[in-house]
Structure 1
Amino acid sequence: MERKTPLYEAHVEAGGKMVPFAGYILPVQYGTGVMKEHMAVRTQAGLFDVSHMGEILCEGRDALSNLQMLLTNNFEGMANGQARYSPMCNENGGTVDDLIVYKEGKDRYFIVVNAANKDKDYKWMVAHQSGEVSFTDVSDHYAQLALQGPKAMDILRRITEEACIPQKYYHAVFEAEAGGIPCIISRTGYTGEDGVELYLDSGKAEQMWNLLLETGKEDGLIPCGLGARDTLRMEAAMPLYGHEMDEEVTPLETGLTFAVKMAKEDFIGKKAMEEQGEPKRKRVGLKVTGRGIIREHQDVYVGDNVIGHTTSGTHCPYLGYPVAMALVEAEYTEPGTKVAAEVRGRMVEAEVTALPFYKRSK
């Protein structure tokens, strides 16, 4: 049975079209529609409820060594408040999940995981822990809001002090306060825009949600649903677990080499990836040049040969044309390569293009 986030009633009241997603009932869009919500984030600001995401605390003298073994990235040398993205792999090099780790303090790390994988991730961490460490699922204590877009920081500054705002991307202030509400403010997001994610007590979620919407009204801030979240991450070419990666796909195939530190002494999945060598398939971007929209799970062809399959695809509101991401054989990853995808028995032409499709100007 699907759960409700602390903001369920606020979404219904605002006209949110509620759908099941990752074990929760969440708004896919509001009356404004996906197109307007998407464009608000690209040009002004949007507010998302991402309280379905999971949070896990890792604490203890051996916290760092556990993270080093569990995750592919390197967590040595992190400053307090710094965040690092990482895949977490199984012994075969496949991806258990992708997540973000924050260093909260000495021997204490705050881990944010994907909603649908929260229980699986927690069990995996506990099953592979060693030494003096504890993993605690604290997801029920937190609501998470994402304030994203070019006006996001202006809106935030009206309800908090500069000291509470992280100055760099992938950094967080743990002892922050916004509108008098204690929270963690993190300079992160899943839209390709500047902005923050706020973690706070579940009981204060609606108060913060209403405060932000009221504060940002003059800047065009509107609530946004899952539909815009997906089209925004697609334009920014951000991989989504269960689409661009899963337990059969390695992070090297997904193009996450920057977060896989093969120079580390060891981590789960390292040996398998070393043995596999250079990936035989890779994630690419496809710009649709024919007529139609290419969705996920479509075969990709060069001539009569199937060279891979799409993992996500949609029409991109800001770019004004459809795109897709695909896992294809490594020899066909050169930008400009002409391909086609089979969509409902009809071939739709596309060409391989560099990722991301969209990149905001600094």
Structure 2
Amino acid sequence: MVEQDLRSTPLAAVHESLGATFTDFAGWRMPVRYDSDLAEHRAVRERAGIFDLSHMGEVHLRGPEAGAALDHALAGKMSSMGQGRAKYSLLLTEDGGVIDDVITYRLAEDHFLVIPNASNVAAAVQALTERAQGFDVEVDDASERTALIAVQGPLSEQILREALLGEDSGVAGLSAEDLTGMRNYRFATGTYRGEELLIARTGYTGEDGFELYVGTALAADLWQQLAAAGGDRLTPCGLACRDTLRLEAGMPLYGNELSRDLHPAQAGMAKVVALASKDDFVGRAGVEDADLSGRPVLVGLVAEGRRAARSGAEVRDAAGAAVGEVTSGALSPTLGHPIAMAYVAAAAAAPGTELVVDVRGKDLPVRVAEMPFYRRA
């Protein structure tokens, strides 16, 4: 795809002014880095980073049966979730594969917001629309008119308080307690310059942080306001460091660790599927009937040195037999040694198992390790 065919976020001019290097991600022209992947990664771990995630989708479900419709459509039980809360869930195929992993927010008794991944927005909207048939609910794809900015890192709350709680901030309906008292997977709503603003304590980095949803017309102003308040404490961050951050945190990436050909249990996500707490839903029969005895499972791998395994690398046992494949890998900036996620045969999945990964034709000894690789203090 040539660059002029790529979609741009409302923050494209901001990224260009900051000297970003761009890449094609799911058909979007996205900043992959601004300066140094390592510096951006460390900024999030030590201070705070700001990300443009406006390529993600935003799908509203409104109506008296919105909760019931989502219980039918998703693997988790959404109808029992309290207002002001968020939940991670899966959108499954009929046979139990994963169409997408999503975050769902309950804005009101009859109003939910579902966030699909950028590469799956069309598929998620189609599935949610089809599965809402027969329920008293309206499905509204607001992706084109919504921007998403993330501020992640140990100083994120402090920066948000300074940026959004002053008299001249343009923010209304949001108190200091809304931010300081907000627990993980909770959110608060208010307005920014008269338009709706949603701030959630969610993220994809393994650090404390927030995600801010605002109308596209105000995205650049909000970014600049956050950047001004953050100063040297807040670093613009691209997709490259977001990937190493989520890998250290053991968070799956759709297309790598999740796909239509993989069942939740293979990825260690059996508990995400609400088999015990709700009745029939799309994918239930596929999950219950699946024979996973011969299927690979997701594990973490660690190694010594500086060479890192990459996606697609073959994993072998001590006898040289192929037992799996790496899905994500990198030299961990925080830990200083190579880490990876891989699908391997169940017989090779026990923590401590010694294996070998092919890294550009050379053997790299690895050891199966529990995830996450990194957990914030």
- Aligned with 2:214: secondary structure? strand
Q: CA deviation at 1:70?
A: 1.2
Corresponding position of 2:102: 99
Q: Which deviates more from structure 2 when the two are superposed, residues 131-140 or residues 92-101?
A: 131-140
CA distance in 1: counterparts of 2:287 and 2:194, whole angstroms: 48
Corresponding position of 2:301: 286
Q: In the TM superposition, what are the counterparts of 1:168-187 in structure 2 within 5 Å?
A: 168-175=183-190, 177=192, 182-187=196-201
Corresponding position of 1:121: 124
Q: CA deviation at 1:239?
A: 0.2
Q: In the TM superposition, what are the counterparts of 1:1-362 in structure 2 within 5 Å?
A: 1-31=5-35, 33-131=36-134, 132-158=136-162, 159-160=164-165, 161-165=175-179, 167-175=182-190, 177=192, 182-218=196-232, 220-263=233-276, 264-277=278-291, 280-289=295-304, 292-302=307-317, 303-361=319-377
Count of matched residue positions in the alignment of Structure 1 and Structure 2: 358
Q: CA deviation at 1:278?
A: 5.4
In structure 2, relative to structure 1, the CA distance for the partners of 1:124 and 1:349 (3 Å cut) is same
CA distance in 1: counterparts of 2:142 and 2:182, whole angstroms: 26
**Amino acid corresponding to residue 336 of structure 2 in structure 1:** G
What do residues 297-347 of structure 1 show as CA deviations (whole Å, max 9, x unaligned)? 111111222111111111111111111101111222211100111222222
Q: Which deviates more from structure 2 when the two are superposed, residues 262-271 or residues 137-146?
A: 262-271
Q: CA deviation at 1:164?
A: 3.7
Contact 2:189/2:196, CA 8 A, preserved across alignment: no
Aligned-pair RMSD on alpha carbons? 1.6
CA distance in 1: counterparts of 2:115 and 2:316, whole angstroms: 37
Contact 2:299/2:368, CA 8 A, preserved across alignment: yes
**Amino acid corresponding to residue 315 of structure 1 in structure 2:** L
- Aligned with 1:355: secondary structure? coil
**Amino acid corresponding to residue 135 of structure 1 in structure 2:** V
Q: CA deviation at 1:282?
A: 1.4
**Amino acid corresponding to residue 84 of structure 2 in structure 1:** G
What do residues 221-267 of structure 1 show as CA deviations (whole Å, max 9, x unaligned)? 11000001001000001000000010001111111123111112122
Contact 1:95/1:251, CA 8 A, preserved across alignment: yes
CA distance in 1: counterparts of 2:178 and 2:24, whole angstroms: 34
In structure 2, relative to structure 1, the CA distance for the partners of 1:360 and 1:249 (3 Å cut) is same
**Amino acid corresponding to residue 188 of structure 1 in structure 2:** T
Question: What fraction of aligned residue pairs are identical, expressed as a percent?
Answer: 38
What do residues 182-226 of structure 1 show as CA deviations (whole Å, max 9, x unaligned)? 4100000000000100000111111111111110114x2110000
In structure 2, relative to structure 1, the CA distance for the partners of 1:315 and 1:55 (3 Å cut) is same
Identify unmatched segments of 5+ residues in structure 1.
none
TM-score norm. by structure 2 comes to 0.91
Contact 1:164/1:176, CA 8 A, preserved across alignment: no
In structure 2, relative to structure 1, the CA distance for the partners of 1:343 and 1:191 (3 Å cut) is same
Displacement over 3 Å in runs of 4+ = 179-182, 277-280
What do residues 6-49 of structure 1 show as CA deviations (whole Å, max 9, x unaligned)? 11011011010011111111110012x10000000000000000
- Aligned with 2:76: secondary structure? coil
CA distance in 2: counterparts of 1:5 and 1:341, whole angstroms: 38
Contact 1:254/1:282, CA 8 A, preserved across alignment: yes
Corresponding position of 2:172: none
TM-score norm. by structure 1 comes to 0.95
CA distance in 2: counterparts of 1:255 and 1:43, whole angstroms: 29
Q: Which deviates more from structure 2 when the two are superposed, residues 84-93 or residues 156-165?
A: 156-165
Q: Which deviates more from structure 2 when the two are superposed, residues 324-333 or residues 148-157?
A: 324-333
CA distance in 1: counterparts of 2:315 and 2:305, whole angstroms: 14
**Amino acid corresponding to residue 152 of structure 2 in structure 1:** Q
In structure 2, relative to structure 1, the CA distance for the partners of 1:336 and 1:34 (3 Å cut) is same
Contact 1:288/1:294, CA 8 A, preserved across alignment: no
Contact 2:305/2:337, CA 8 A, preserved across alignment: no
Identify unmatched segments of 5+ residues in structure 2.
166-174
- Aligned with 1:293: secondary structure? coil
CA distance in 2: counterparts of 1:164 and 1:19, whole angstroms: 36
Contact 1:175/1:182, CA 8 A, preserved across alignment: yes
